[in-house]
Structure 1
Amino acid sequence: MTMIFRPLSLARRFAVVAMACAAASAAAPVRAQVPVQESPFLAKAVSEGALPAAAGRLPSEPLVVDLPDKGREFGVQGGTIRTIFTRSRDIRYMVVYGYARLVGWTGDYELAADILREVEVEDDRIFTFHLRKGHKWSDGAPFTTEDFRYYWEDVANNPELAPSGPPELMIVDGQPAKVTVLSETAIRYEWAAPNPRFLPSLADARPPFIYRPAHYMKTYHAKYADVEKLAETMRKTKSRNWAQLHNKMDNMYNFDNPELPTLQPWVNRSESNGQRYILTRNPFYHRVDAQGVQLPYADRVETEIAAGGLVASKVTLGESDLQVRSLTFSDAPVLKKGEPTGNYATYLWSNGAGSEIALYPNMNYEDAAFRELFRNADFRRALSLAVDRKAINKSLYYGLAKERAVAPLQRSPFYSDARAHAWANYDPEKAGAMLDALGLEARDGDGTRLLPDGRRLEIVVESAGERNAESDALELVAESWREVGVKLIYRPLDRDILRNSAYQGSAMMPVWYGWNNGIPTPETPPDDLAPVDQANFSWPMWGQHFQTRGKAGEPPAIAPAQRLLELHHAWMEARDEEGREAAWNEMLDIHADQVFAIGLISAAPQPIIVNNRLKNVPKQAIWTWDPGAHMGVHRMDEFFFQP
């Protein structure tokens, strides 16, 4: 059994080899090679007839994982992995960590089939999905192309459920996909022009779930549900209408409806807004190791909700087995000291974002004078030159991070020293001269520069206030900016308030990570680099304009941003790797020159604590949102407790 991509780029050829091997292993059912071992956790339910035996729960062609080939150990089932989140809504991160995707990134950051058995791609515009025969949802119902059809016809194209129509990913040149169900296990998506973002997006940390458990969701859909039962459910849940009820029960990413069937390795068994969530193994999970043991190895995941400031101390008390979230490098000394009592080891991974900390001059800021400054590349360049990155690295990271601009990391084929250090070397004299040339030479009594209208050059930097490293770094930026006559005012906000303020133009200069994807390849979409998403704090309203197809926001107002949009389109239309690589290179060069975001530091060490008995957790790895889904690409379902 092969997995086919056409056209085949070099990266894709390599991925095909890996996927073909995995598919070949899966093609010969594991039960024909070694007996499928029954889970002790599920044995009682099997003996009572509540569940079929293990061999009957797996797809006829499961995804077989030969762990030694990946440098890992075969494990045993059992145990509970404990972790800590800081908000009830963070239970959604178990969909990120679980990382069951139609196609997903491998540990080498190449695409491979996962939930799907095989994908055929023709000219990056025709995608034929082949499902695994016998694959089931977590409640035992068949997972078939009906689940894809239901989403497309009854959700994405239902004006009551999706007033804006199908997601932007499913629209190319203004035309939606043509979706054809070929059989119970085969479905085709087709566009007239290429859609190279389609497969990579399905592998995202927060993917577009283009399927739904139709058997469950139909009970909340006016087209299928019993009218009286639906009305009664609406009354009980205090829903205004059936669409509101459907959308409430349907959120596969939020993971807060324990009744909603899933394909993830663990199933949430707890109601939302609690202080503790219990997840148990999915009896019908599609992955199995080469010795016949169904994954995940861990029977349960238990998540506790605690204040962010308490996470490190709770870890040292032995209250977490696997913890990365809410830990920063500043916690490393405390974590290291607590290893004997906490019964864990502290590893240092590397952050995979384009920058660990980045400042975003909001070019859609509501104040006209500051907006004009932020849109001037020399102003942004001057601010970048005025940052003493060496002091930040030495003070906060003991020199272990990289003093660089927002740029691809060394793991990426697009890395270059020129991009990494563009306008990023500390040069306050040059920065001051550039600010003078912009007409900002006048200063008040304390040395702060004045705008032409007489106001002080005071820049308010807004933060989500969730990372001590941000506030500490900004203190150092404030010191170095003061030397060139720029005053920095730090204002922490709630994360949601920060985002909404930026989207509306009232946030002046948000601070966040750099690009999500710091290790881009020609095949990964350049969405971080173009004004195509309001979540990019450099140009939220320009992103809104693109996302809403002109219904909201405003079009890019400066030539470099307009060119980035053209290059994004060129990447979409490119028929080969060379065309996509060319688009990426020009976009990266524009960013290096224009400094749309001011990166402070890159490749910062990220502590992760691991219970001493928990195996298969890599000691060195990259921690990044996309591509990789934080823990997801490292396959948490393969972690196990040594007996």
Structure 2
Amino acid sequence: NFEDREVIIMKAIAGELDFVQGYELLPMDDYPVVKEGEKEGDYRVLLYRDFKSDGVISINPLTPDPVVRKILGDIRFRQAISLAIDREMINRTVFFGLSKPGQYAPLPSSSFYKEEWGTYYADYDVERANALLDEMGLKWDSEDIYRLKPDGETLEILLESGHGSKPEATMGEMLTAQWKKIGVKLAVRTEKATHERITEDLCELLTTVPESKGWVDVAMASSEPYFWGLGKGWEKWLKTDGKEGVEPPAEWKELKKWVDELISLRPGTEEWITLKQKIWDFRVKQLWVIGMVGQAPIFHLVKNYVRNFPEEGLFGWSTAMDIAYSPQQWFIKK
């Protein structure tokens, strides 16, 4: 049991470990060097698919600045910044082309999936994005570099890192350059966002990874993501039936009714699928969470003498990590 991730990587490449679970121990930026050492280390690198979006932007509707809050609350702004993301480039640069560019949405293999969710405002279209911001009345500054807020100040948005990881930092750099093309100045804070900033709704934008249970038909672990990515005040209100938090708009209260009804239905039935689609139609098209890429592979390192280990599969909180793959049945054969 090693706490230093660099030590884990070195020992893994040297072939000194029987099994290293991906996820946080083997992040994707280590994939090339670990893959290169396969033969010499006498191990195999197995790519599993994750359930969730690995690059997402959570927009806080309760950010303290009233001017920024009004801008973020305009659906046209959320549509514009989504259109201004070059997802293919992010996939190639951060995930080595192994992920799936697209919007924040459930897995395509889910029984309730709709094709339109994955592509909703997910094409790269700077011209269309600029047209939406023009329609909002967000004018350019005198040098045509950045747009101005209604109070005359530069439109600058703060993006904070949910985990403080290297991939998130890289995505932040890329978004800064991409959004500059539509006149949005992005300030990126690469260290992990503090608990206080998240829980007290002090963030404007947050890049992190959502819970994954609601993305599939049936899951073994983790809570539903229907209220995830909203301001903590809204989320708390919805989860406590209004006992705590900040009261959200009426449409989110309606969503809460649908979610409560869904819990009473048997997964896979026609009624369940219809209601699940109704919930995700609303959730995706609100764009309070904007997806960049999803289903990024998680890679495991497995020594060649470790047998009965599935060569492919899904992995994440929804499968309770590797519990679904019966680790008690793995064995060593030399």
Regarding TM over 0.5, the answer is: yes
Provide, for residues 1-22 of structure 1, a one-character-per-residue CA deviation record: whole Å limited to 9, x for no partner.
Answer: xxxxxxxxxxxxxxxxxxxxxx
Task: Give the letter aligned to residue 619 of structure 1.
Answer: E
- Counterpart CA distance in 1 for 2:311 and 2:28 is 16
CA apart distance, 1:446:
6.0
Q: Is the alpha carbon distance of 1:547 and 1:560 closer, same or farther for their aligned partners in structure 2, counting shifts above 3 Å? A: closer
Q: Residue 322 of structure 1: CA displacement?
A: 1.8
Which residue does the alignment assign to 2:197? 501
- Identity between Structure 1 and Structure 2 (%): 27
Give the aligned residue type for 1:540: K
1:611 corresponds to 2:303: yes
Task: Report the Cα distance in structure 2 between the residues aligned to 1:575 and 1:315, rounded to whole angstroms.
Answer: 44
- For residues 404 and 369 of structure 1, the distance between their equivalents in structure 2, rounded to whole angstroms, comes to 29
Q: Within the alignment, does 1:593 sit opposite 2:285 as a pair?
A: yes
Contact 2:214 2:225 in 1 (8 A): no
What corresponds to 1:638 in structure 2? 329
Contact 1:352–1:518 (Cα < 8 Å) also in 2: no
The structure-2 alpha-carbon separation of the partners of 1:510 and 1:340, relative to structure 1 and needing over 3 Å to count, comes to: same
**Aligned positions of 1:549-564 closer than 5 A:** 549-557=241-249, 559-564=250-255
1:520 maps to 216
**CA pair 441-399 structure 1, distance change in 2 beyond 3 A:** same
CA positional deviation for 1:365? 1.5
Mapping 1:349-360, distance limit 5 Å:
349-353=48-52, 355-360=53-58
SS of equivalent residue, structure 1 residue 528: coil
Q: Is the 8 A contact 1:357 1:514 kept in 2?
A: no
Q: 1:579–1:555: structure 2 CA closer, same or farther, 3 Å change rule?
A: farther
Aligned residue identity for 1:314:
K
RMSD: 2.4
CA distance in 1 between counterparts of 2:77 and 2:296 reads 27
**2:103 corresponding residue in structure 1:** 405
Q: Retained in 1: the 8 A contact 2:160–2:203?
A: yes
**CA deviation after TM superposition for structure 1 residue 639, in Å:** 1.7
Are 1:456 and 2:160 an aligned pair? no
**2:14 is the counterpart of 1:322:** no
Of 228, 231, 237 in structure 2, the residue corresponding to residue 545 of structure 1 is 237
Q: Rate the CA distance shift 1:547–1:594 in 2: closer, same or farther, 3 A.
A: closer
How many pairs does the alignment contain? 330
Secondary structure of the residue aligned to 1:419 is helix
Verify the 8 A CA contact 2:60 2:205 in the aligned structure 1: yes
Shift of 1:575: 6.9
CA pair 464-312 structure 1, distance change in 2 beyond 3 A? farther
* 1:577-606 deviation digits (Å, cap 9, x = unpaired): 333222211111112322121100111122
Separation in 1, partners of 2:266, 2:311: 39
Gaps of 5+ in 1: 1-302
CA distance in 2 between counterparts of 1:568 and 1:518 reads 11
Give the whole-Å Cα distance in 1 for the aligned partners of 2:28 and 2:214: 19
Task: Work out which of the two has the higher radius of gyration on C-alpha atoms and give 1 or 2.
Answer: 1
Paired letter, 1:527: E
Q: Distance in 2 between matches of 1:448 and 1:401?
A: 31
Contact 2:157 2:185 in 1 (8 A): yes
Report the TM-score when normalising by structure 2. Answer: 0.90
Distance 1:403 1:505, change over 3 A: same
Q: Point out which structure has higher relative CO (alpha carbons under 8 A, 6+ apart).
A: 2
The amino acid of 1:320's aligned partner reads L
| Distance (whole Å) between structure 2 residues aligned to residue 444 and residue 362 of structure 1 | 29
Structural mapping, 1:139-538, within 5 Å: 303-306=1-4, 308-323=5-20, 324=22, 325-353=24-52, 355-443=53-141, 445=143, 447-494=145-192, 497=194, 499-517=195-213, 519-521=215-217, 527-529=224-226, 531=227, 536-538=228-230
Q: For 1:450 and 1:513, locate their aligned partners in 2 and report how far apart those are by CA, in whole Å.
A: 30
Q: CA deviation at 1:419?
A: 0.8
Tell me by how many angstroms 1:397 deviates.
2.9
- For residues 591-638 of structure 1, what are the alpha-carbon distances to aligned partners after superposition, in whole Å with 9 as ceiling and x for unaligned? 23221211001111222101221112211111221x211222122222
What TM-score do you get using the length of structure 1 for normalisation?
0.48
What's the CA shift for 1:523? 8.6
CA deviations 1:233-289 (Å, max 9, x no partner) are xxxxxxxxxxxxxxxxxxxxxxxxxxxxxxxxxxxxxxxxxxxxxxxxxxxxxxxxx
* Alignment CA distance shift 1:553-1:519 (3 Å): closer
C-alpha separation in 1, matches of 2:266 and 2:327: 35
Deviations 1:214-238 (A, max 9, x none): xxxxxxxxxxxxxxxxxxxxxxxxx
CA contact (8 A) 2:229 2:288 kept: no
Contact preservation (8 Å) 1:403, 1:601: yes
Contact 2:146 2:185 in 1 (8 A): yes
CA offsets per residue over residues 167-224 of structure 1, 9 Å max, x none? xxxxxxxxxxxxxxxxxxxxxxxxxxxxxxxxxxxxxxxxxxxxxxxxxxxxxxxxxx
The 1:523/1:510 distance shift into structure 2, 3 A limit, reads closer
Distance 1:373 1:475 in 2: 22
| Over 6 Å off, 4+ runs | 522-526
- For residues 417-453 of structure 1, what are the alpha-carbon distances to aligned partners after superposition, in whole Å with 9 as ceiling and x for unaligned? 2111011011111111111111212325361111111
Are the equivalent residues in 2 in contact too, given 1:461–1:509 (CA < 8 A)?
yes
Confirm or deny: 8 A CA contact 2:210 2:229 kept in the other structure: no
Flag the 1:416–1:322 CA change in 2: closer, same or farther, 3 A: same
Post-superposition offset of 1:406: 0.7
SS at match of 1:305: coil
Q: Secondary structure at the match of 2:225?
A: helix
**Structure 2: which amino acid aligns with 1:421?**
T
Gaps in structure 2 of 5+ consecutive residues: none
Deviations 1:397-421 (A, max 9, x none): 3432211101112221122321110
Instruction: Determine which structure has the larger helix proportion and give its number.
Output: 2
Q: Report if aligned partners of 1:570, 1:580 keep a CA contact under 8 Å in 2.
A: no
Whole-Å Cα distance in 1 between the matches of residues 6 and 159 of structure 2? 22
